[in-house]
Chains A and B, each alone.
Chain A
């Protein structure tokens, strides 16, 4: 049987029952609309949360110093653990999956920064060049701290956008000199940070310079590194290796979690992705439920359609329609109704998502709601499969109609 002929037959039948057709289309279109909208909104919420992680590298591990809480090898608890340059070198040399690594030296005390007559107080940190990747800072002018700065212990600083705002009249004061605690530094770069505005009130200088100026040549306050493309499990292994390395070097128990406080950002990230797994499950259950309602509605409408067309089907059988040709027609009609409806719903929901994307400003609860090609393909398959299912029972009923009974004069 030629497809074009079947389509003509179906379009005739659909046109004959306009109200019924429109109702069926609306039901399924609504189901698909809700499903896609929910998926898009779910993605938007996820993007919003991920935006909050943008501040720092998602795959970073931060190592803070702490105090021992367990007596170990004759050493009493309550001992302050301090890191140094050698810890930095050993982490670089011995720990697996270390990608970008930096130490931090916090300049304490009075950190008044002067430029001409302007002055203000900012966070001041000595860091390695890799620090750039850990905070996900973006250089907007000049450059970041580099290796030569470190080896030559140059008195240079990279300053946040907020620092520029407070001290300077121009947006890119490269080459200008600022004074920190009376010592003069040359500005070599300006950075911005999309994730955190506080970060933009920070001044960075080469860690070796900071150690020299503040007379603590070996001192490090904190270590941070990223694990590259390592899996969650590999990052946990890496974290354990660091703890063991530091425990050996500093003589504390490897079980003493307070001596070296290690934060793996992937832990947080995993919590969130786990949460979104369940959000997606929820959305899928609700969405598929809605689509299922649509399928049942179409199925119901097809049952009514078959009942209404009992006589017509009887006539068709009397003049030689096979049961197969009757049921094919019903299933095809159902598939066409759900497909057209599905696409209307899909287009409507994609349109609304685009509208939301264009009009709702960036915020941490909903950001760039969207669905991907996979969802579009999946919805296409879903409407065809559900259309077939919706048509199946009515089609079987239609195929089983007894022409003798159907043709009896009413």
Chain B
């Protein structure tokens, strides 16, 4: 599913050159459920951005679902993100002037699905995350947990091969976090590969595999189940 070999990435911050990832190798199989852990600055966000084709590595190769991800132009990268990858963010990143339904339907807009059809599909996904009756509400009228469930519905609507989540429970209380994690578990049970970044050990414990990063390198790779 995912194969990273010899990935390196560094940033210039002020006068310093920060090495975010150093010669990282990683293999994630289809249907796996992986937690990436690490302290702030360990390179876990960079890793997630590279996996999500939001960022490109300085060197090394990335293969996603058999496709070598390299030298993509903006249009091709957008296509891969749209078809293969679903994103869930810590701060939900819903578009504030759109209803929950329109937010969920937006990825299908970029697949040229007709408005009627994508709204119908979006409604199904909202029902799936238990928010059918909140479809016409704006994000400002939703709680944090509800917002994150809308975001998950949006990530799932294109039926991506890979679901990436960056601290998805970081802004939520324990009970809501449990709801969100059970959604991820459910999705993974149906065969979707899920990779999430978290610094909370009890969240990581609910996945199948924990990868620990420090200073841009994998220091632990533990299979839980």
Taking Cβ atoms with an 8 Å cutoff, the residues of A that contact B are: 1-2, 4-5, 8-9, 12-13, 15-16, 311-312, 314-325, 399, 403-404, 407, 409
Contacts and interface: CB of A to CB of B under 8 A. Distances in A.
B154 A12 contact: no
A-B residue pairs, 3 tightest by C-beta: A320-B82, A323-B74, A322-B78
A4 B54 CA distance: 29
A318 B54 contact: yes
Contact of A319 (B74, B81, B112): B81
Contacts of A9: 109
Nearest to B75: A322
A2 B79 CA distance: 18
A5 B115 contact: yes
A404 B49 contact: yes
B97 A320 contact: no
Q: Dominant SS at the A interface?
A: helix
A261 B213 CA distance: 104
7 contacts: A312-B96, A316-B106, A320-B82, A322-B79, A323-B78, A325-B78, A407-B54
A305 to B, nearest CB: 13
A407 to B, nearest CB: 6
Given A1-B112, A407-B89, A407-B93, A319 B106 contact: yes
Interface string B45-87: 0000100101100000000000000000011001101110001
B147 to A, nearest CB: 13
B108 to A, nearest CB: 9
A319 B114 contact: no
Contacts of B110: 316, 319-322, 325
A1 B91 CA distance: 29
A321 B109 CA distance: 9
Interface of B: 49, 52, 54-55, 74-75, 78-79, 81-83, 87, 89-91, 93-98, 106-107, 109-112, 114-115, 154-155, 158
B107 A320 contact: yes
Contacts of A12: 97-98
A322 B96 CA distance: 21
A323 B114 CA distance: 21
Given A2-B114, A404-B54, A404-B55, A320 B95 contact: no
Given A318-B54, A320-B83, A407-B93, 13 more contacts: A1-B112, A311-B93, A315-B93, A316-B110, A319-B81, A319-B82, A319-B87, A320-B79, A322-B79, A322-B110, A323-B78, A324-B74, A407-B89
A53 to B, nearest CB: 61
Nearest to B164: A318
A5 B155 CA distance: 21
Nearest to A320: B82
B53 to A, nearest CB: 10
A317 B78 contact: yes
B112 A323 contact: no
Nearest to B111: A320
Nearest to A321: B110
A403 B54 contact: yes
A318 B79 CA distance: 10
A5 B105 CA distance: 12
A8 B118 CA distance: 15
Contacts of B158: 320
B204 to A, nearest CB: 20
Contacts of B91: 409
A318 B97 contact: no
